[in-house]
Amino acid sequence: MKVPLRFLLNGREVALEVQPHARLLDALRDYAGLTGTKEGCGEGECGACTVLVDGRAVNSCLYPALEAEGCAVLTVEGLVSAQGGLSELQQAFVEEGGAQCGFCTPGMVMSAAALLSENAAPSDDEIREALVGNLCRCTGYTQIVASIRAAAQKAGKAQS
């Protein structure tokens, strides 16, 4: 038997009917049709499924969908501008080579978005610490850290 679930998805109110045991990951991909969020391990290890719930990064594979009731959920689709352009953070991943196969990228970008919202000018160590829960099999991480550093610097310049 399905149960109702309402929450704010990338700023828009959504009303879904989900299985009670559905994960937030399932609600996003299978019920809301947003497939940017990926499933890697399904066990909290890889971070490919990272989304923000009320501003905090969580593994959507370990997050019961029903716990999102009334919350604000942000996925990688929510970062793009209304005109469909990439955000500065996403653009930095493109420019700095922060994505190769791209499977880990939505999770990486969401972890980075959570970090930058708390700390606008993180050190490289702080960037690495924020990415402990995000695995990448391709890039070697150096370009990912560089992407986030570049995005922070660009945002810093725009501020001043």
Partner 1 sequence: MAYDYHRSGSLAEAFALAARDDSALIAGGTDLLVALRKKKRAAPARLVSIRSLPELTAIEAGPGLLRIGACAPLTEILAQPVVRERLPALAQALAVIGSRQIRNVATLGGNLCNASPGADSAPPLLVYDATVELAGTGGRRELPLSEFFLGPGRTALRPGEIMTAVCVPLPVPSAQSVFQRRSRVAMDLATASLAVNYELQGGVLKSVRLAAGAVAPTPLRLRAAESWLEGRAVNEETLAKAVELARGEIKPIDDLRGSAWYRSELIGVFLSRAFRNRKEGDA
Ligand X SMILES: Cc1cc2nc3c(=O)[nH]c(=O)nc-3n(C[C@H](O)[C@H](O)[C@H](O)COP(=O)(O)OP(=O)(O)OC[C@H]3O[C@@H](n4cnc5c(N)ncnc54)[C@H](O)[C@@H]3O)c2cc1C
Chain residues in the site for ligand X (CB under 6 A): 44-45
Piece of 10-18, 45-53, 82-90, 121-129 that binds ligand FES (CB under 6 A)? 45-53
For the beta carbon of residue 121, count every other beta carbon within 10 angstroms: 12
For the segment 96-135, give every residue that binds partner 1 (CB under 8 A): 111, 114, 129-130, 132-134
Q: Rounded distance, CA 66 to CA 22, Å?
A: 8
Residue 93: name its binding partner from partner 1, ligand FES, ligand X, none (Cβ under 5 to 8 Å by kind).
none
- By CB under 8 A, tell whether 45 contacts partner 1: yes
Least gap, CB of 138 to ligand X (angstroms)? 21
- By CB under 6 A, tell whether 137 contacts ligand FES: yes
- Name residue, tokens 């959504």: 14
Q: Rounded distance, CA 123 to CA 116, Å?
A: 11
Asked if 96 and 150 touch (Cβ cutoff 8 Å), the reply is yes
